[in-house]
Structures are given as C-alpha cells and as structure tokens.
Amino acid sequence: MWIDDYLRLDNKIGIFLKHHAESGLPLFLYGNGKAARFFVDFMRANLIRIEGIIDANATEKKTAYGIPITTLDETIRNYEQADVVVSAPAYAGEITRLLNSKTNYFVFSFDPLLDVIQKCDYSQRREVIEKNSYRIERLYDRLADNRSKKTLKCVVGGGITSDILMYKDLSYEMQYFPDCVIERLPSNGTYIDVGAYDGDTVEEIIKATNDSFGRIICFEPDPYNYVALCEKFKDDKRIIPIRKGVGKNKTKLYVVNESNGLDEGAYLTNDETECYVDVVSLDEELKDVIPTFIKMDIEGLEADAINGARRIISAYHPDLAISVYHKCDDLFVIPELIDSIYSGYKFYLRHYWETTGTDTILFALNCNKKEI
C-alpha cells in the first residue's frame, strides 16, 4: 500500500529532537510571524529552552511570548554555534540558504502545528495512521477526483513525517470554495457557517456567489470574534450572526481565547474559564431552515456537530465543508460518520496551507443535486 512507503520515512521532528538532545547547543527560532506561537508551544511542551527568536523586525519589538527577539547579526556575534528551527515555514528555503551562507548553525525545518493542535505527538499520530491504514485506503478509493487522492497522500505523508515539503502545490486561494464546489453554487442558497470567526468565510461566500445568496447564518461562540463579525456585516440583513457554539446536544461550554482579542484558534472546553457560551445542535436551532451548504471549522468539535445535524443531513443532503485536521483520526472518522448518515455524497479533499498540515477540508457534495 502507498501508506507503507510513507511509514518507512523518518520524521523531521524526531530527527531534530535527537540532534538537539545530543548537541546541547542553544536553540533559536527564526521568524516571529503567525506560525511562531505554535513553535513556541511545541518547544515548551517538549521542555526545550528557547534562547531567542531571530527576526528582521527585532528593533521594533523586544520580546514575544516572554522570549527575547534578536537580529541575525546580533546572534552571530554572541553565538558561534547554535541550533536554529525555522518558525516561518513559508520562508524555510530562503531562511535556510541565508543561515547556511552566513553561519555554521544547524538548521531545521519541520511542521509542529499538528502536534500542537491535535495534542498528540508525531509518534502517536504515526501509530494511529498505521493502525487505521485500511480505513484511509478505503477513503482513498471513495474520493471522487485525482486531486483529492493526491491531497490525501500528501496529508498522510505530512502527518507521518512532519515534512513541510509534503504540502507543496496543494493550497487553494479560497479555502471553502475550490474548483469542485464553486461551480455548484445556487443563486439563492442558504449557507451555514459554523465557526465563523470574524467573517472570513462569509467574505468567501460573497465572492464565490458574486454576492448572490439568500442568507448566511453564522455561529461564533467567542465574544471578541463575534463582535468583529457583527461589526463587519452590520449593514447586510442577509447575514445573521448567532453567538452560540454548535455540538451534538444542547449544553454549556467554556471559551478559551489565548489572544485576549481576535483569535481564529479560540475553542470550547468543559474546563471552567471566565467566559461560557450556550451550545446547540443544528437540528434544533435550524428547525425551519433548509441549508444549501454547511461549513464547519470548530477546533475538534466537528464530529459532535455533524451528529447534531443528522436530521438536516439525512433529509436535505446539503453540501458540506468540514475541517478534518483538528484530531489525528478526523481524516477518516468524519467521512465515515457522514457516510453513515447519508451515503449519497461524493467526497473531495482539499488543503489550504502549502507548508503545514493545517486546514485540510473534506467536501461532501450531494451527487444527486447536480453532476459535477
């Protein structure tokens, strides 16, 4: 099986961890962009001290995450040898070439985001993939086009190896409306955005439909995100924000926001925080609604939300766009769950980021609605 070929490859994180444990050298991250916080979380989870973050804008900001920010020239003056992990993966090649030309540092590039987001390390993820390889092969056979099959192979390969190069040439500009979806959109559809953040997907819907849609019902539990969402679309009555979480049953959960502001990674937990929110099922909340399209990106609660939409899915077969990367078994568990509710979908798989394993989306498209 093709999965076996990936299982024979070494993991980039494992290579780094072994080297760093043996070298005893100070560790620097290179790059203080959006991805840096995941690298910081990863190092701290592995009890690795970060000496500093190298960044071209070090003069503008002195620290990040409680870690000193420094320039490359300053680092070279103070450290003859060091281990450096590239924490701006989109620029990994450029940064690696720069470091190799100016230093004798050991330079590493890998993707720690899945380890952080899924709360399991690469070895556990590898074990899950290996034990469930037959289920992944079954999904491969179920996928409707060659792009999906290639995407599945690359995503599984990236999950096993943590190699950022696995995701090269996979990304799409529009996360939830790639080629397989955009040609199907009706002119007066009802869209359900579960995990609406600040309205970034709403903007995609507006663009994809040329502003021709019936309404967009948005669920966003985080108060900061919800305020931004409401403000952005306050003049469009077709867009309906609802500050609730979505799950299997009606309950209350607590919001975790690590940014104290807009946070696309805000999530819900049973552990008490200062902010709680009502959680509803789509079946109960949307009793009088017939959705055209449902998107879900809710930090690991996607399977619960699908179970809470069984009536809608089985009765109306809306097209679905579901994130399948928040848990290490989402990739095969979620399509199996959808199939158990309604087996008439065609499955497509697309990936959004070209250097990390995040934002893999399963599209379940109703093949009886329109041939594609």
Q: 142: helix, coil or strand?
A: helix
Reported as a pLDDT band with limits 50, 70 and 90, residue 309 is very high
Q: Are 117 and 15 in contact (CB under 8 A)?
A: no
Q: Are 282 and 305 in contact (CB under 8 A)?
A: yes
Q: Do domains 2-110 and 129-366 have the same CATH topology?
A: yes
Q: Which fold has domain 129-366?
A: Rossmann fold (3.40.50)
Reported as a pLDDT band with limits 50, 70 and 90, residue 369 is low
CATH code of the domain occupying 2-110: 3.40.50.720
Q: What pLDDT, in 10s, does the model give residues 261-298?
A: 999 989 999 999 999 999 999 999 999 999 999 999 99
53: which residues sit within 8 A by CB, 6+ positions away? 28, 29, 30, 31, 32, 36, 64, 67, 68, 69, 70, 87
Calculate what percentage of the chain has a pLDDT beyond 70. 99
The pLDDT of 339-368, averaged and rounded, is: 94
Q: What pLDDT, in 10s, does the model give residues 49-77?
A: 999 999 987 777 789 999 999 999 999 99
Reported as a pLDDT band with limits 50, 70 and 90, residue 363 is very high
Between residues 319 and 173, the one the model is more confident about: 319
- CA-nearest of 350, 246, 361, 356 to 298 is 246
Q: What pLDDT, in 10s, does the model give residues 4-25?
A: 999 999 999 999 999 999 999 9
User: Which residue(s) pair with 30 in the sheet?
Assistant: 54, 86
Secondary structure element (H or E) that encloses residue 96, with its range: helix 92-102
Q: What is the pLDDT of residue 371?
A: 39
The pLDDT of 209-236, averaged and rounded, is: 97
CA distances from residue 172 to 37, 117, 259, 295, 353 in whole angstroms, order as listed: 24, 21, 27, 16, 8
Reported as a pLDDT band with limits 50, 70 and 90, residue 372 is very low
Task: Tell me the domain boundaries of the chain.
Answer: 2-110, 129-366
Q: What is the pLDDT of residue 58?
A: 74
Q: What pLDDT, in 10s, does the model give residues 174-221?
A: 789 998 898 889 889 999 999 999 999 999 999 999 999 999 999 999
Q: What is the pLDDT of residue 60?
A: 72
Q: Compute the distance between CA of residue 150 and CA of residue 225 in angstroms, rounded to an integer.
A: 34
For residue 371, the tally of other CB atoms under 10 A from its CB is: 7
Q: What is the DSSP-derived secondary structure letter of residue 175?
A: S
The pLDDT of 83-94, averaged and rounded, is: 97
- For the chain, give the mean pLDDT: 95
